[in-house]
A and B are shown apart, each in its own frame.
Chain A
Amino acid sequence: MNTPAILSVLGEDRVGIVAAVSAALAANGANIEDIRQTIITGIFSMTMLVTVDEEACAFDLVQAALAKVGDELGLQITLQREDVFRAMHRV
């Protein structure tokens, strides 16, 4: 089952953030559908639309892999099912 999810990354800019997050997603079978990224006064902000293949890797395991990347790089990374944003921001 492919589950659409929103990945958001926030933290101090540094080399390798996109690489580390993308590698963690690829290693856990999650596909990147869209990326938007900005840096404002040194703060790195990235949102991704990804699809998580829950047959290949359970949703909470993908979250755990990303949390590990967040800890290593000092970033705040959240992965949430897309439904919540659709419910809150679309009529």
Chain B
Amino acid sequence: MHIEPEEIAETLEMISRHHLDVRTVTLGLSLRACAADDIDEIARRVYDRVTSAAGRLVPVADAISREYGIPIVNKRISVTPVAELIASCGACDVSPIALALDRAGAEVGVDFVGGFSALVHKGIGEADRRLIDSIPAALAATERVCASVNVATTRAGINWDAVLLMAHTIKACAAATSDRDAIACAKLVVFCNMVEDNPFMAGAVHGSGEPDEVINVGISGPGAVRAVVESLSPDADLTAVAEAIKATAFKITRMGELVAREAARRLGVTFGIVDLSLAPTPAEGDSVAAILEAIGVERCWGPGTTMALALLNDAVKKGGAMGTSRAGGLSGAFIPVS
């Protein structure tokens, strides 16, 4: 047999015991052809574009999940930042576009639609301001739509006017959904260095450098990495820890790459990137903080945390880069900050 039983058992254990999964298969869609002078016309075009392009996404992802035995947790859509569609329409409230995205997302069965977004790191355009002003109403009235605003980049610095505007927007989002645990805030990301090919929510957008349609995959597996680190001998040195993480990251990434290529092939769209982020879940042990503690930090955010995080990110990227030639997206660690 080409594959050893131990290797089969390892894969099955990673999936069943350590919560290894493909966190998301995200279809990026350009909506640039949907721009129009009238808000209702934009909404109609957006609905038609999403439902016609993404109709097969969920059935294809579900079939791949069954055939390969790999859980695919979320199926999502990212779209062109909506602020780019509304420059020539004068509507102050552009939330009808969010409602159209929500309806289209429900129609095709995806979990989230990201891209009710604007990029304002060097200045706030008139259309950007209308979009940001519409975010609280849009997120309160929809279930699946996610919003994001980029307020800073390493090159341009921080747009403090935008930071203040977003601070007010976050409060308005909380107030608009105060009867639902301020859920609108969970669907809003304020970014520094937004990327164009991020498959993760709530910050996914389909950037201007992307093709019309593209499949991006986000892998996960903090639990699998933690289990490998915990299985090391207590006197293992940091080189051994890094090597173990690299080997595991390679396997996880190859799984993501396989799913991404297969999904792109079946859907007939371009394969974009594999995002090498370690994204935790509420499941016990499926936590980035637990990995840092398994590496040897007594308690996450105690002394040594930054070093352990740097080691983890470095090893994940090195193992992941060997596993895919298309690393992209955020490719970082989702870490607790409070």
Please give the residue numbers on chain A whose beta carbons come within 8 Å of chain B beta carbons, in ascending order.
Answer: 6, 8, 33-34, 36, 38, 45, 47, 49, 59-60, 63, 78-89, 91
Contact = CB atoms under 8 A, between A and B. Distances in A.
B3 A89 contact: yes
A47 B5 contact: yes
Contacts of A82: 2-3
Interface of B: 1-5, 7-12, 63, 66-70, 251, 254-255, 257-258, 322
Contacts of A6: 3, 8
B3 A86 contact: yes
Contact of A87 (B66, B67, B255): B255
Contact of B69 (A33, A36, A80, A87): A80
Contacts of B9: 8, 45
A79 to B, nearest CB: 8
A38 B6 CA distance: 12
Contacts of B69: 78-80, 84
A84 B12 CA distance: 11
B1 A80 contact: no
Contacts of A47: 1, 5, 8
5 contacts: A47-B5, A49-B1, A84-B11, A85-B11, A89-B251
A45 B13 CA distance: 14
Contacts of B3: 6, 49, 82, 85-86, 89
A87 B257 contact: yes
Q: Interface SS of chain B: helix, strand, loop or mixed? A: helix
B8 A60 contact: no
A84 B255 contact: yes
Rank and list the top 10 A-B pairs by shortest CB-CB distance, nearest first: A80-B69, A87-B254, A34-B1, A88-B251, A89-B7, A87-B258, A85-B3, A84-B68, A47-B5, A49-B1
Given A83-B258, A88-B11, A59 B2 contact: no
Given A85-B7, A88-B251, 11 more contacts: A36-B5, A49-B3, A63-B67, A79-B69, A80-B67, A80-B68, A81-B68, A84-B68, A84-B69, A85-B11, A89-B11
A88 B255 contact: yes
B239 to A, nearest CB: 20
Given A85-B3, A88-B255, A59 B67 contact: yes
A34 B1 CA distance: 6
A9 to B, nearest CB: 11
B314 to A, nearest CB: 20
A36 B1 contact: yes
A60 B69 CA distance: 11
A43 to B, nearest CB: 12
Nearest to A83: B258
Contacts of B66: 60, 63
A58 B313 CA distance: 41
A84 B70 contact: yes
A5 B69 CA distance: 11
Contacts of B5: 36, 38, 45, 47
Q: Which of B66, B67, B70, B257 has the most CB of A within 10 A?
A: B67
A8 B2 contact: no
B68 A8 contact: no
Contacts of A60: 63, 66-67
B101 to A, nearest CB: 31
Contact of A86 (B2, B63, B257): B2
Contacts of B67: 59-60, 63, 80-81
A64 B97 CA distance: 42
Contact of B258 (A33, A49, A84, A89): A84
Nearest to B68: A84
